[in-house]
Amino acid sequence: MRLHKHLFKAIFGKAVLAGAVLSGLLLFAGAPGAKADDWDNCNRRVAYSEWRLHEAIEYFGYDSPQARHWRHERHEAYEQLERYQRREWRERARREHEWREHHRDYDGHRHYRDRDRDGDGDGDRD
């Protein structure tokens, strides 16, 4: 009887530990990525500031303090959108550069870069 209790505790303990590990894995693996939809947020901010500027001009006038405030907000939203576009361009260029460096010798055009194209060992000096 004592052997059965010890065996039950050992199996139960292992099952609890495995369940805790599995739940922790699912918790962290199932979490969404840290990168939010920056592009959508930037466009939403631009659209909102343009709409608020239009409303401020319509209700308070073109030179009102409210209109000036929303012009400033619109300007900041466009700056943020431009920064995002530049960052995306840099990241895309970096990824393409890394891809080209990785696949440089595998693209089938290595012979265009070789100095000794005819293979006689003289560095292509005719």
pLDDT category of residue 104 using cuts at 50, 70 and 90 = low
Tell me: the pLDDT tens digits for 49-77? 999 999 999 999 999 999 999 999 999 99
Q: What is the residue extent of each domain of the chain? A: 37-104
Which pair of tokens denotes residue 100?
């080209």
Q: What is the SS3 assignment for 30-81?
A: CCCCCCCCHHHHHHHHHHHHHHHHHHHHHHHCCCCHHHHHHHHHHHHHHHHH
Question: Tokens standing for 51?
Answer: 């709409």
Query: How many of the other CB atoms lie within 10 Å of CB of 56?
Result: 19
Task: Return the number of other C-beta atoms located less than 10 Å from residue 70's C-beta.
Answer: 23
> What pTM did the predictor assign?
0.49
**What pLDDT, on a 0 to 100 scale, did the predictor assign at position 103?**
62
